[in-house]
Amino acid sequence: MKHDQSHDYFNQAKQVIPGGVNSPVRAFKSVGCEPLFIDHAAGSRIYDADNQSYIDYVGSWGPMILGHCHPKVVEAIQQAAAGGASFGAPTYKEIELANMVCEAYPNIEMVRMVSSGTEATMSAIRLARGCTGRDKILKFDGCYHGHADSLLVKAGSGAATFGVPTSPGIPADFAKYTLTATYNDLDDVKSMVAANKDEIACIIIEPIAGNMGCVPPQPGFLQGIRELCTTEGIILIIDEVMTGFRVAYGGAQERFDVRGDLVCLGKIIGGGLPVGAFGGKKELMDQLSPEGGVYQAGTLSGNPLAMSAGIATLKLLQEEGFYQQIEEKSAYLEAGLRQAATQAGVTTCLQRVGGMFCTYFCAGLVNNFNDALGSDTEAFGRYFRSMLDSGINLAPSQFEAGFMSIAHSKDDLDQTIEAAAKALAAV
């Protein structure tokens, strides 16, 4: 594949945009090549500035579960745009999407829309602190909840990709309120809670850790945290920005039968437009301004175009058999990738929950961040570059998940498996 135009755009971009990108992981730094600049997308494919097509497993980092440019989503956005891009005033569309979210997540009695996953988690944490009067929060090594100051402490995703587990610019005095525990280690959580008795406002967790690859919760882990939070008066924030409407219509909470006091959503509920959301029990949400004293706001929160895209998307996800199809496509791909690795004699660990997955270059299993850090990221880089050259767009980091869409055809999956066999033979 040639990348002359992407290369030229990247050089231009670096003159005016830090690192040439508006989000670090897009720079492809950890996979040893320059980023693609995308011209357009359709269905399961993206088309780069050199008009080369790729079967896409990034899907804008999760939102594009319908594939790109689903006609009903495009139509909804176009119709909304014709009526006005933004009003800074409430609209019925916000009620419609809020009702859809509350219907899908029984523990969400009220929900507030924001414009990103970071805003959702940042706001949920402020609400938890405001409701409890406690300052400390507990998160998990390798989990990423956006780039709010209190969360860039041993974060996963981009920060882990750059091997910078804590970011400059976070006052030490601030970071000290963020405790970190090991994912899938309930005893570690219990000891942290015991050592900070009555001081922890919330535990925030990815119910499936998708920012250190794809790490499922071990049996009993989420339930144990739920019980601990209930006993200790700690607010459990379940961050479903990635998993919400991804691994089931009711997200990981439906899949694993665990319910947070507050839930964060994003990605899919915007259908590709900027949306985040946080919600939960009415008694908590009522403490948000203007009803309560916990302040939170946003110029474009509940934007009519984003609401319209989200409503159109969720309606399509409700169609009979949607998640069964995602499961079948994902299981087929998993089986093919496993076979390709075996035939190539390459040790990989493929982990998957529904339509999100990751291939680690290590023996596995990967149960926490330290396990993930044991993966051969150089080998992943070689694999990534070979797959890209074969027209397969994977997440450009070992510490990210890949995503299936309903638009991926069997032919797409067979092409992917064939490309993997070639890549693994040379990795």
Judged by beta carbon, residue 120 or residue 234, the one nearer ligand KE4 is 120
Does residue 359 touch ligand KE4 according to CB under 6 A? no
Judged by beta carbon, residue 216 or residue 417, the one nearer ligand KE4 is 216
Judged by beta carbon, residue 116 or residue 180, the one nearer ligand KE4 is 116
Minimum distance between the CB of residue 122 and ligand KE4, rounded to whole angstroms?
9
Q: 10 Å Cβ neighbour count for 410? A: 11
Tell me which residue of 98, 150, 140, 149 sits closest to 238, measured CA to CA.
Answer: 140
Assess contact for 376 and 346: CB atoms under 8 A: no
Judged by beta carbon, residue 12 or residue 23, the one nearer ligand KE4 is 23
Does residue 239 touch ligand KE4 according to CB under 6 A? yes
Assess contact for 7 and 34: CB atoms under 8 A: yes
Does residue 241 touch ligand KE4 according to CB under 6 A? yes
**Number of amino acids touching ligand KE4 (CB under 6 A):** 21
Write out the binding residues for ligand KE4, residues 178-237 only, by CB under 6 A: 206, 210-211
Does residue 116 touch ligand KE4 according to CB under 6 A? yes
Write out the binding residues for ligand KE4, residues 386-405 only, by CB under 6 A: 400
Write out the binding residues for ligand KE4, residues 266-305 only, by CB under 6 A: 266, 276
Does residue 58 touch ligand KE4 according to CB under 6 A? no
Minimum distance between the CB of residue 54 and ligand KE4, rounded to whole angstroms?
18
Give me the long-range contacts of 98-106 (CB less than 8 A, separation at least 24): 98/279, 100/310, 100/311, 100/314, 101/265, 101/269, 101/277, 101/279, 102/279, 104/245, 104/249, 104/250, 104/251, 104/314, 105/244, 105/250, 105/251, 105/253, 105/263, 105/279, 106/259
Q: 10 Å Cβ neighbour count for 355? A: 27
Does residue 141 touch ligand KE4 according to CB under 6 A? no
Note the helical H segments in 140-199.
Answer: 157-161, 172-175, 186-195
Longest dimension (CA), the chain: 61
Judged by beta carbon, residue 116 or residue 351, the one nearer ligand KE4 is 116
Residues at the contact surface with ligand KE4, assessed by CB under 6 A: 23, 25, 61, 116-118, 121, 144-146, 157-158, 206, 210-211, 239, 241-242, 266, 276, 400
